[in-house]
Chains A and B, each alone.
Chain A
Amino acid sequence: MSETAERTPAVAGRPPGSPARENGSWRLLRGLGTLLLRQRELTVFVVVVLLVLYFGVISSTGRAVFFEKADLINLGQIAAPIIIIALGEVLLLICGEIDISVGFIYAFTPFIMYFLIQYYGVPGILAIILALVCAAAIGWVNAFITVTIGVPSFITTLGTGFVLYGLILTMAHGEQAPVSPQVLGIGHWLGTYAFAEIIWAVALVALFHVLLRRTRWGLHTIAVGGNQLGSAEAGVNVARIKYGNFMITAVLGGFVGIQIAFQTNVIDTFSGGAAYQPMFYAVAAAVLGGTSMLGGSGTMIGAFLGAAVLTILQDGFAVLGISAYPLEIFFGGAILISMIASVQLARLRAGGRIKR
């Protein structure tokens, strides 16, 4: 919607006495800067292209080629889980909430599938569907505690995350579980096939982009995050939107968990806090892609590109054979820079220098 907005003259013009040397290249540079600030996805896209060029050029002259099939498979398998979980987090962040527990839902759901098959003889596809229903139920509980009882979602999902973690360890006796042979057929389409996950991820990005931009659900999600009281006064069912988005996020988390189980051919307990990682990466991808932590704005394409940045950095380091230790410093730096840019953007907008 903002792309096509007319540019109106600046409300608060520059104070008199500001730089008068508006020569051509300076103006071009400033125009470019403004454009990049206005179009957050474009900024991230440029970063992605630069990273690909950097790692691609360096690696093609060196030991490995960045775009061999094995590299692409690797990239896709790292990126897909981050992307899919980020789609849910974007919806939640836009409507003013967050889900810290999604990594544990991701670890929990494949175990439900496993138990249903092993101990209750449930047929494979039905077991997967029931496991996802179970994930949705966890999302409902998160929403109930947050929306109906009124606990901030950060705290709610911190708590439910620990509960789920304990449940996983108790149920599985702290052991990994094998993937049941009954579901290997469908598993091929979900995660075993090398490109399955990234294909799912791209398809879901398209679907969620339409959901956010072109449906009442998306519009109401933005409205709730932008002005909760106002949307309620306009008759928007705030609780329904939030319940729905918690449940969508949980189902996406569970879905990714099942995909990973098929991909690795084992159901892991993700002990020692490993289950936090997909959630942190997903939120980082959302934020890098321009989703506001304050609610009211965010994009699915941005989250996709944000996940691409994190993935290429991670894989690029591996390809170049650089130690993985400083990697997280780059991640942190990227997040901080992008947040500083967006705070700066908000300030410029408030001053009327940039119109959306």
Chain B
Amino acid sequence: MTAEAPQASGTDVLRAEHISKHFGALTALRDVNLHLARGEVLALLGDNGAGKSTLIKILCGFQPPDSGRILLDGHPVTLKSVDHARSLGIDVVYQDLALVNQLSVYHNMFLNRERVRGLLLSNRAMKRLARQYLDEMGVHIPSVETDVAALSGGQRQAIAVARSVFSAAKILLLDEPLAAMGAKEAAMILSLVQDLKSRGDVSIIIIAHNYGQVLDICDRVNLLQQGEITFDKPGKDTSVTELNEIVIEEYRRALQERQRSA
């Protein structure tokens, strides 16, 4: 089996080899091989139901694969839980963002990683660090003391991304970061990803079903179709047209099969 896997390269921070996952009779993932180089931005594309969420849940430690293994910096690891994965530097920015509306920006950024002096929160230190960090990332919000409820969708996304990067995540999984986002806000998130990429210390997997938006900023594209990675190309060597054709082709084939069996 292992002979089929692509050769390990020294720069890969994350490799998933021969990952399979079944839910009863349903095969969610079939022998998936995925690799992510240091500082790389990988777009993981695929239609709804292609297995993107399942793959992400496995990569972030939420659920174990039925078979296959995960390597971090070349070492095999068993991700026991989301917390465990996070302690190893893998962090997910969920679609729901996991932000608390009633708390300020800086409290959200430090949620569960608060700075304390003795028993008391050191709010001043957290404010200063949050402000400094958001400035560095080029995220513009009125004030870190604003409640998150008052921010726009794009700003909220930026805060969530900043929180993950801030907490020393080395591998960032962004789950549909552009869903339900206006053009201006999407552009802001994309430029944020680009900034992170140019800094080079974070490797990013962007999950998306709208590939037009992410094609420009990603280094490489993987297409997931019915539980298999069917396509792996550098972002600059492919186009929206090509990806569209692949997906439409799949749809056509499925339609024909259905008609044949009917």
Chain A residues with CB under 8 Å of chain B are 1-2, 4-6, 8, 210, 214-216, 219-220, 222-223, 225-227, 229-231, 233-236, 296-297, 349, 355-356
Known: A1-B107, A8-B146, A215-B119. A234 touches B101 (CB 8 A): no
Kindly state the separation between the CA atoms of A344 and B121 in the bound complex, as whole angstroms: 32
Contact in complex: A226, B103 (CB < 8 Å)? yes
Instruction: Show 30 residue pairs from A and B whose CB-CB distance is below 8 angstroms, ordered by the A residue.
Output: A1-B103, A2-B104, A5-B146, A6-B142, A6-B146, A214-B123, A215-B119, A216-B114, A216-B121, A219-B103, A219-B107, A222-B102, A222-B103, A223-B111, A225-B102, A226-B100, A226-B101, A226-B103, A229-B98, A230-B97, A231-B100, A233-B96, A234-B112, A235-B83, A236-B111, A296-B101, A296-B102, A297-B102, A355-B150, A356-B147
A323 to chain B, nearest CB (A): 42
Q: Which 9 pairs of residues, A with B, have the shortest CB-CB distance?
A: A230-B98, A226-B102, A226-B100, A233-B98, A296-B102, A235-B112, A6-B143, A234-B111, A223-B100
Name the B residues within 8 Å of A219 (CB-CB).
103, 107, 111, 114, 121
Chain B 145-161 per-residue mask, 1 if CB under 8 angstroms from chain A, else 0? 11101100000000000
Contact between chains at B147 and A5 (CB < 8 Å): yes
Contact of B137 with A by CB under 8 A? no
Tell me, in angstroms, the Cα distance from A318 to B213 when the chains sit together: 71
Which B85-128 residues have C-beta < 8 A from chain A?
86, 94, 96-104, 107, 111-112, 114, 116, 119-121, 123
Bound CA span A8–B86, Å: 35
Residues in chain B near residue A296, CB distance under 8 A: 100-102
How far does the Cβ of B117 sit from chain A's closest Cβ, in whole Å?
A: 10
Max chain B Cβ within 10 angstroms of own Cβ: one of A1, A215, A222? A1
Q: Is B56 an interface residue (CB 8 A)?
A: no
- Chain B residues with CB under 8 Å of chain A are 82-83, 86, 94, 96-104, 107, 111-112, 114, 116, 119-121, 123, 142-143, 145-147, 149-150
Name the B residues within 8 Å of A349 (CB-CB). 149
Residue with the highest number of chain B CB atoms closer than 10 Å, among A8, A226, A297, A355: A226
A208 to B: closest C-beta gap in Å: 14
Chain A residues with Cβ below 8 Å from B86 are 235
Q: How far is the CA of A231 from the CA of B114 in the complex (A)?
A: 13
How far apart are the CA atoms of A226 and B111 in the complex, in Å? 13
Give the chain B neighbours of A230 by CB distance below 8 A.
96-100
**Given A8-B150, A296-B102, A233:B94 Cβ within 8 A:** yes
Least CB distance, B128 to chain A, in whole angstroms = 14
Q: How far is the CA of A65 from the CA of B89 in the complex (A)?
A: 68
Residue of A nearest to B121 (CB): A214
Report B-chain residues with C-beta under 8 Å of the C-beta of A5.
104, 143, 145-147, 150
Q: Across the interface, do A216 and B116 meet the contact criterion of CB distance under 8 Å?
A: yes
- Provide the residues of chain A in CB contact with B94, threshold 8 Å: 233
What residue of chain A has the Cβ atom nearest to residue B120's Cβ?
A214
Find chain A residues with CB under 8 A from B98 CB: 227, 229-231, 233-234
Nearest Cβ on chain B to A294's Cβ, whole angstroms: 10
List residues of chain B with CB within 8 A of the CB of A235: 82-83, 86, 111-112
A214 to B119, CA, bound (A): 8
Would you give the shortest CB distance from A95 to chain B, in whole angstroms? 11
| A227 B149 Cβ-Cβ under 8 A | no
Chain B residues, CB < 8 A from A356: 147, 149-150
Complex contact A2–B147 (CB within 8 A): yes
